[in-house]
């Protein structure tokens, strides 16, 4: 008794649609042109030309991919077919088959569909950034890995807790944790400057309370989302009056920014500098570890 699934014909690639047949692991038959198989995939080209026997005699090949994966994959061979909508549940086996058969178009399509580029704000948003990060790192897509990593460094923590069906290289996950903690520490250092100014005294007690409350709230929220948006939402009270050392904040500049030593700045001046620095960090593509 045969353990193979009974065969049935694909609706998208029906009988006589092409002169060659690919059989999925679950018994679905896909008819497609030999020419298209050879033209798009160097792996299929070698398979079809091996010894000349497949080309002249055998009209089918049994494959290990499921019918769902094959249907999605073969759409990239046929110019008359549109790619299937992106589905995170089936994306991993599709990318695995694309790597196996060396079909670069699948990766380019996936990367294009998973990002939104806001040219006006110069920001690229990644849909499902954790899943993209895991898949891109697994399949060696360096730029996509860095783009998704950039998104995850400023994203709310819920994005890092999203269910993901694939696995990621441990090295890149450690890099994510390392860079996110470093981003958070930089923002804490900025808050420390405000705390030092408060300790120096204030002439507006009501705003002083507001500032202390906003610092506590900001510190907690930055742990969830270390981004400029979080920073901006929680600092409106800081510039209402002379809440810090008489009308001024002291910012110890970093080398290369405002020169060496301390600079005396108003809250507005300070926040504008911080905004520029933080947004520049958020736009920059982070570096991966040397082992990637």
Chunked into runs of 10 residues, the chain (292 residues) has average pLDDT values of 72 94 96 95 89 57 96 96 90 96 96 82 77 92 93 92 74 88 90 70 56 82 92 70 48 45 64 87 84 54
pTM: 0.81
How many angstroms separate the CA atoms of 200 and 250, rounded? 10
Work out the end-to-end distance of the chain between its first and last CA atoms, rounded to an integer number of angstroms.
48
Helix axes 267-283, 170-199, angle to 10 degrees: 180
- Reference 244, options 274, 214, 221, 276; nearest CA is 214
- Reference 160, options 231, 224, 112, 111; nearest CA is 224
pLDDT reported for residue 239: 56
pLDDT reported for residue 127: 87
- Name every residue whose Cβ is closer than 8 Å to that of residue 194 and which is 6 or more positions away in sequence: 211, 215, 238, 244, 249
pLDDT reported for residue 172: 81
Residue that has been written with the tokens 């909508």 in this structure: 85
């Amino acid at each position: 008794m045969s353990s193979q699934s009974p065969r049935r014909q694909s609706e998208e690639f029906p009988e006589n649609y092409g002169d060659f047949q690919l059989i999925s692991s679950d018994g679905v038959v896909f008819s497609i042109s030999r020419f298209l198989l050879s033209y798009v995939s160097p792996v299929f080209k070698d398979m079809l030309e091996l010894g000349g026997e497949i080309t002249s005699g055998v009209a089918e090949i049994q494959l290990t991919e499921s019918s769902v994966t094959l249907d999605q994959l073969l759409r990239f061979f046929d110019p008359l077919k549109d790619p299937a909508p992106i589905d995170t549940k089936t994306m991993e086996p599709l990318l695995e088959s694309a790597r196996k058969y060396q079909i670069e178009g699948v990766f380019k399509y996936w990367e294009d569909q998973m990002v939104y580029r806001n040219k006006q704000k110069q920001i690229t948003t990644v849909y499902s950034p954790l899943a993209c990060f895991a898949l891109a790192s697994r399949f060696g897509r360096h730029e996509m890995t860095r783009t998704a990593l950039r998104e995850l460094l400023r994203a709310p923590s819920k994005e890092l807790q999203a269910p993901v069906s694939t696995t990621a290289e441990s090295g890149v996950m450690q890099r994510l944790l390392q860079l996110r903690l470093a981003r958070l520490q930089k923002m804490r250092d900025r808050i420390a400057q405000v705390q030092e100014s408060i300790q120096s005294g204030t002439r507006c007690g009501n705003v002083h309370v507001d500032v202390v409350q906003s610092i506590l709230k900001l510190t907690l929220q930055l742990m969830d989302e270390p981004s400029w948006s979080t920073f901006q939402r929680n600092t409106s009270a800081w510039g209402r009056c002379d809440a810090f050392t008489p009308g001024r904040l002291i910012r110890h500049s970093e080398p290369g920014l405002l020169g060496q030593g301390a600079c005396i700045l108003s809250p507005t001046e300070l926040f504008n500098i911080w905004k520029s620095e933080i947004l520049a960090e958020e736009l920059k593509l982070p570096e991966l570890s040397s082992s990637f």
